[in-house]
Amino acid sequence: MTDRPAGEHVLFEEVATAYDQLPVEFFGPVGERLVRLASVGPGERVLDVGCGRGAVTVPAARATGPTGRVLGIDLSPRMAGETGRLVGELGLGQARARVMDGQDPDLVPGTFDAVVGSMSVHMIDDLPAAYRAYRRLLRPGGRLGLAAPATDAAPEPDGLPRVFGLRTIAAMAERYATGSGVYPNSESFGGRDRLRAELSRSGFAGVRLTVEDAYIRAASPYDVVRWTWTHGMRRLWARVEPSRRADLEERIAAEIGERHIVEGRVVIPVPVLYATGTRPPH
Ligand SMILES: C[S@@+](CC[C@H](N)C(=O)[O-])C[C@H]1O[C@@H](n2cnc3c(N)ncnc32)[C@H](O)[C@@H]1O
């Protein structure tokens, strides 16, 4: 593992217990969509970079079936541990999880049919190094699939920025800039032009970038408020003066209540960027 300064994964080690465990749906459907876009199929060998608590590892293992092999890697030991426990509980013997740096995974070149990563790879410091590593790990003809927040999505009809589909969170993000290079104001992967160019330079062909809405779904606005403390947004909350947090939480809940209730449940559209490419067969 590379010796790197404390980064995003330290935050994820802190939130690992609650990450993706509240009754709020978001990361799971994005992971499932990514597995479909990367065309993961029976018998394939898949690497899931930044596996978190298995949002991609699990659907990938279901798609490969028992004859496949899925390896989830994460820099956070607790995340990797939870994913390992989950796949065991689900009887997905073809999947396992290890602690490993996704920037340059120490794995055998040419041994994967697909390398995928959802809401994770955009956090890596040296992205071109990571893309080159993924190309090396893929067999000729193998596929790359990445998903990340579409921070540069087409402007909303009202022209107001949103983060996680909400203006209140965008306003918070503007005021309490996190200092992170990736979240929440800067464009994932340095923007789509850069992503496309760097993937091509790293040897990927047929690079395709698409933005699709995913949906945050929950029973109540307060579930979503609690959920915002359990992932990357926790870093933003840490910057808000404690005396202001309750008011901001109320505002987030109020915006959801006013704008995003469908048949009594919370449904918030959030644009997600998906990138796919192929290691050329020759
Ligand atoms: C937002 S979570 C996404 C997890 C999962 N893929 C999902 O969609 O729910 C980001 C994950 O990436 C991991 N991560 C961040 N930097 C990493 C790196 N350089 N190598 C491996 N994992 C990393 C974090 O520890 C965290 O578990």
Residue 133 contacts residue 34 (beta carbons within 8 Å): no
Residue corresponding to tokens 């402007």: 155
The DSSP secondary structure of 150-194, one letter per residue, reads: -TTPPPPTT----BTTBHHHHHHHHHT----SSSSSSPGGG-HHH
Q: How far is the CA of 9 from the centre of ligand 1 (A)?
A: 6
- Gap from CA of 48 to ligand 1 centroid (Å): 10
Q: Burial, 203: exposed, middle or buried (Cβ in 10 Å; 0-12, 13-18, 19+)?
A: middle
Structure tokens at 266: 């919370």
Mention every residue, 6+ apart, whose C-beta is less than 8 A from residue 148: 119, 121, 122, 188, 189, 272, 273, 275
Count of CB atoms situated within 10 Å of the CB of 5: 6
Q: Which two tokens stand for residue 52?
A: 């978190």
Structural domain boundaries in the chain: 8-151+182-216+270-278
Spell out the CATH class of 8-151+182-216+270-278: alpha beta
Answer for the pair 228, 252: CB distance below 8 angstroms, yes or no.
yes
> What is the pLDDT tens value at each position of the chain, 282 positions in all?
344 445 666 788 888 888 888 899 999 999 999 999 999 999 999 999 999 999 999 999 999 999 999 999 999 999 999 999 999 999 999 999 999 999 999 999 999 999 999 999 999 999 999 999 999 999 999 999 999 988 755 566 777 778 899 989 988 888 887 655 545 567 889 889 999 999 999 999 999 999 999 999 999 999 999 999 999 888 889 889 999 999 999 999 999 999 999 999 999 999 999 999 999 998
Helix (H, G, I), strand (E, B) or coil at 32: helix
**Nearest of 26, 114, 3 to residue 64 by alpha carbon:** 114
What is the spatial distance between Cα 223 and Cα 230, in angstroms, rounded to a whole number? 11
Report if pTM > 0.75. Answer: yes
Residues in the chain: 282
Amino acid at 114: A
Query: What is the number of the ligand 1 atom nearest to the C-alpha of 48?
Result: 6
CA of 69 from ligand 1 middle (Å) equals 20
39 in helix, strand or coil? coil
DSSP state of 108: -
- Ligand 1 mutation target, pool 13, 27, 123, most atoms within 8 A of CB: 123
For residues 185 and 152, give the distance between their C-alpha atoms in angstroms, rounded to a whole number.
9
